């Protein structure tokens, strides 16, 4: 199947059946790349503001995807990662070195976050393991030991639900499932499995996503609730960013499986992951507003429907990645991602690099003029758009 005619702008001339097959990749080629100046500004905002564990971890993921794509699971999941065509990930190495130098010797986590979630420091894990492949031997041994301690902490110290779902919250608190967990823990467990040649860890990543879906999926749509369980804080609302964390975490695990040595043995799991991501994306994109962005919550009962560029960018990134992985051929999903990407990119200030409006990541129903998450998600979206467009160019 060739899509080149349509790519050249002759989509109308392509037969209907060809459109069905080519529809997803077709639309991904639309739009222009962000300018280097703007990407630099966004990176500058991030280096000043991405200080929380989960934001820093997601920042590293965005840098890997954007600047060292051969080292990202969307290209390959073998370990150590191949450096063919890629320079060493210096931007990621320096972030990991900074966290490692601050790490207290008594903690079992990659970073100690007083009062923070159990899941959040695990967001540093993939960047951590990639960095470990590029440092001297003694630093490497230390990094790998910290990663192993983090995995043991998640699997053996953090409370669980009775079905085995690992809590987002730390020991001492009742088990609580947050959609955010899906981007923090399963992608790390899966990549740790690749790094240690342990297939069961990749399977565990899948199992946790399956359990989280059973706790969080709404009874009336494919969207996920934000927080369930716990003894103090719950949020049954359908939070835009929470749905983004879930969908993007799912596609990262799918990519890890698909590009790993165990690809052929995970056929059923990959089909499930693709279908769970599709559920979330299909439901989310039914809420696109006239400005091309998604509302902060999808359910009116939550009373917070301002346009949120941050979660919108993360969901659009997940849709492009799902298309790139062959997990969807839905023109609706990729067209929606293109609509969102145009809207998000129009909302980035060319003088500051901040994207706005966004949710305040620490006060889920409040609007903010800027957030580090918003900046990270813009970069994830840019990398996802670029890589899925490149795929079209190759196949045309």
Residues that bind ligand NAG (CB under 6 A): 258-259, 263-264, 267
CB 151 within 8 A of CB 165: no
Q: Which is nearer to ligand NAG, 259 or 349 (CB)?
A: 259
CB 357 within 8 A of CB 369: yes
Q: Which is nearer to ligand NAG, 133 or 274 (CB)?
A: 274
Least Å distance, CB 264 to ligand NAG, is 5
Instruction: Return d(Cα 168, Cα 281) in angstroms, integer.
Output: 23
Instruction: Return d(Cα 381, Cα 2) in angstroms, integer.
Output: 26
- Which SS3 state, helix, strand or coil, does residue 226 take? coil
Q: Which is nearer to ligand NAG, 174 or 267 (CB)?
A: 267
Q: Which is nearer to ligand NAG, 228 or 257 (CB)?
A: 257
Q: Which is nearer to ligand NAG, 110 or 195 (CB)?
A: 195
Q: Which is nearer to ligand NAG, 74 or 178 (CB)?
A: 74
Least Å distance, CB 63 to ligand NAG, is 23
Query: Residue holding tokens 């730390």?
Result: 170
Least Å distance, CB 101 to ligand NAG, is 37
- Which SS3 state, helix, strand or coil, does residue 138 take? helix
User: What is the rounded (10 degree) CA torsion for 187, 189, 195, 196?
Assistant: -170
Least Å distance, CB 89 to ligand NAG, is 22
Least Å distance, CB 277 to ligand NAG, is 17
Angle at 85 between CA 79 and CA 87, to 5 degrees: 80
Q: Name the residue with the smallest CB distance to ligand NAG.
A: 263
Least Å distance, CB 66 to ligand NAG, is 21
177 backbone dihedrals φ, ψ, rounded to 5°? -105, 120
CB 242 within 8 A of CB 226: yes
Q: Collect all residues with Cβ–Cβ distance below 8 Å to 319 and sequence separation of at least 6.
A: 247, 281, 285, 328, 333, 334, 336, 337
């Amino acid at each position: 199947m060739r899509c080149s005619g349509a790519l050249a702008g002759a989509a109308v001339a392509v037969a209907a059946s060809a459109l069905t097959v080519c529809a997803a990749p077709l639309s991904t080629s639309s739009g222009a790349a962000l300018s280097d100046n703007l990407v630099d500004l966004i990176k500058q905002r991030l280096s000043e503001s991405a200080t929380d564990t989960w934001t820093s971890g997601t920042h590293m993921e965005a840098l890997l995807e954007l600047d060292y794509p051969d080292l990202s699971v969307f290209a390959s999941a073998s370990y150590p990662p191949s450096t063919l065509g890629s320079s060493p990930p210096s931007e990621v190495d320096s972030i990991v070195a900074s966290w490692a130098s601050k790490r207290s010797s008594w903690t079992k986590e990659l970073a100690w976050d007083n009062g923070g979630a159990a899941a959040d420091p695990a967001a540093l894990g993939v960047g951590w393991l990639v960095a470990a492949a590029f440092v001297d031997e003694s630093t490497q041994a230390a990094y790998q030991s910290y990663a192993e301690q983090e995995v043991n902490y998640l699997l053996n110290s953090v409370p669980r639900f009775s079905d085995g779902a690992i809590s987002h919250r730390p020991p001492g608190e009742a088990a609580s499932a947050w959609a955010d967990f899906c981007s923090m823990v399963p992608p790390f467990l899966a990549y740790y499995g690749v790094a240690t040649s342990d297939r069961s860890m990749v399977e565990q990543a899948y199992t946790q996503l399956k359990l989280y879906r059973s706790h969080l999926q709404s009874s009336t749509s494919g969207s996920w609730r934000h927080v369930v369980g716990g003894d103090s804080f719950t949020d049954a609302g359908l939070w835009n960013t929470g749905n983004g964390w879930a969908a993007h975490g799912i596609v990262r695990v799918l990519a890890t499986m698909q590009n790993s040595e165990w690809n052929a043995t995970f056929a059923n799991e990959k089909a499930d992951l693709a279908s769970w991501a599709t559920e979330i994306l299909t439901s989310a994109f039914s809420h696109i507003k006239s400005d091309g962005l998604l509302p902060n919550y999808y359910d009116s009962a939550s009373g917070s429907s301002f346009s949120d560029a941050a979660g919108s960018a993360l969901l659009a990134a997940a849709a492009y990645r799902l298309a790139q992985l062959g997990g969807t051929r839905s023109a609706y999903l990729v067209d929606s991602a293109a609509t969102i990407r145009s809207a998000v990119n129009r909302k980035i200030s060319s003088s500051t690099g901040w994207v706005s409006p966004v949710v305040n990541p620490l006060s889920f129903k409040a609007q903010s003029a800027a957030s580090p998450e918003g900046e990270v998600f813009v970069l994830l979206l840019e990398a996802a758009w670029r890589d899925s467009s490149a795929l079209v160019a190759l196949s045309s």
